[in-house]
Structure 1
Amino acid sequence: MLRAEALVRREGWIAPYPSDRIFFPAAIIFGVEQDYLDTHIVPFMKQNGIIAVSVPGLQKDLTEGIPAVLQPFWEEHMSFHSSEWWRALWKLSPDITIEHYFSHTRHSDAWNDWLQSSNPHAQDDISMIEAENGEYFDTIGLVATVH
């Protein structure tokens, strides 16, 4: 199964088993492309497998552009979206049923833990989170079952 081996290599996973047996009872990864689930995740999932993601996101989508306070920190590759945006994206897949989509109730705690870490990226995020002041960012969770 070359597709599974390619997925393992592209996503940086280390597979302790032959590539012809890669079927995941659960996957915890994400992509923002419209066909990502159907192309890169669902083919490797067992029926009734669970797809669960927790991603940095937004309380609501930025329909009027990036707010001035975030512009110094915003990078083109950032794919922050609201829970509604993620739900709409995942609903495009005929191969899953969305069980839950939500904003994490411990969003602030998660960010605070991250900012207190010694990771250089976390240290870079401190001024962004201070400028954002709890007005825009969120942590989004989605859970789906594969048909």
Structure 2
Amino acid sequence: MFYYEQTKNFDYTPYCNGTYFMGPSVIRLLDEANLPRKKGMRILDLGCGKGLSSLYLAKEYDVTVFAADLWISPTENYEFFRSLGIEEQIFPIYADANALPFAEGFFDAVISVDAYHYFGAEAGFFSEKILPLLKPDGFAALIFPGWKAPLPTPVPQELLLSWTEEDLTTFQPIQWWKKLFEQEEHTRLLSIAELSCVDEAWADWLATDNPYAIGDRPSMEHGAGKYMNFIFLTACHK
């Protein structure tokens, strides 16, 4: 049974399972990130999945959340939020990260947990797609998996027990991401660091009965975790 003692405003334990997890625990990742907050902020949760990260932001930060995802039905997420009585605080949206349907300067913060590496790893994406959505004093906080060091070649066999080489191309080391964001126009990279909860976040995910978690187990049981980290990056207008 999962229990997250760091959080104070809600018991997430019943939702930390194979139904709501879509990867390593977003609760642990957000707990450690400890984002800047101000009551009443308007936040975009980009790549919200089944809405667990949006629930956390609403409960712990007392903010308004726009929960955007391309793959999960907004109706499904709305029913989840309504079952918890927070449907007035979280607004589920069907949206593609490359064509976000929001006004410029609309958000105090853009948050993305375990999703940004799928769509944001190209030069110019942040400055063209994300930065314009932020208020002048807003910020983006991005948490995504990566490599502790550049991946050896050939690719270690333990990684290929669960993933293809193509699957692994979405991961990059922290130095790669730092260089990418330092080259983004009109963007100030505020911070970039590794999170220390990577093993616990992965363990929570692997303990679920989610078919994707089960598929990830062979690699992780053979030591693939020694190559992996989670990167926490914040950026704003220059």
Place the TM-score, normalised by the shorter chain, in its bin: 0.7 to 0.9
Q: TM-score normalised to the size of structure 1?
A: 0.79
Instruction: Tell me how large the CA RMSD over aligned residues is.
Output: 2.5
Greater shift, 27-36 or 59-68, is seen at 59-68
Work out the percentage of aligned pairs sharing the same amino acid: 28
Return the letter of the residue paired with 1:114: W
Q: CA deviation at 1:19?
A: 4.8
**1:40 corresponds to which residue?**
129
**1:3 corresponds to which residue?**
none
1:26 aligns with 2:109: yes
**1:70 corresponds to which residue?**
159
Q: Distance in 1 between matches of 2:142 and 2:217?
A: 24
1:14 aligns with 2:97: no
CA contact (8 A) 1:90 1:98 kept: yes
CA contact (8 A) 1:51 1:146 kept: no
- Write the deviation string for residues 65-109 of structure 1: whole angstroms up to 9, x where unpaired: 422222333331431111111111111112221111111111101
RCO comparison, higher one (Cα < 8 Å, 6+): 1
- In structure 1, the gaps of 5 or more residues are 1-7
Q: TM-score normalised to the size of structure 2?
A: 0.51
Greater shift, 23-32 or 99-108, is seen at 23-32
CA contact (8 A) 1:83 1:141 kept: no
Runs of 4+ deviating beyond 4 Å: 18-22
Return the letter of the residue paired with 2:173: S
- In structure 2, the gaps of 5 or more residues are 1-65, 71-91, 95-100
Return the letter of the residue paired with 1:88: K
User: 2:230 is matched with which residue: 123, 139, 147?
Assistant: 139
SS of residue paired to 1:71: helix
1:114 aligns with 2:205: yes
- Write the deviation string for residues 24-77 of structure 1: whole angstroms up to 9, x where unpaired: 211123211111101211121111211111111110111534222223333314
CA contact (8 A) 2:178 2:192 kept: yes
Q: Distance in 1 between matches of 2:153 and 2:206?
A: 28
Q: Distance in 1 between matches of 2:173 and 2:144?
A: 10
Q: Distance in 2 between matches of 1:20 and 1:143?
A: 21
SS of residue paired to 1:52: strand
Q: Distance in 1 between matches of 2:130 and 2:220?
A: 32
Return the letter of the residue paired with 1:100: S
CA contact (8 A) 2:104 2:133 kept: no
1:86 aligns with 2:177: yes
User: 2:191 is matched with which residue: 87, 93, 100?
Assistant: 100
CA contact (8 A) 2:182 2:189 kept: yes
Return the letter of the residue paired with 1:131: H
Q: CA deviation at 1:20?
A: 4.6
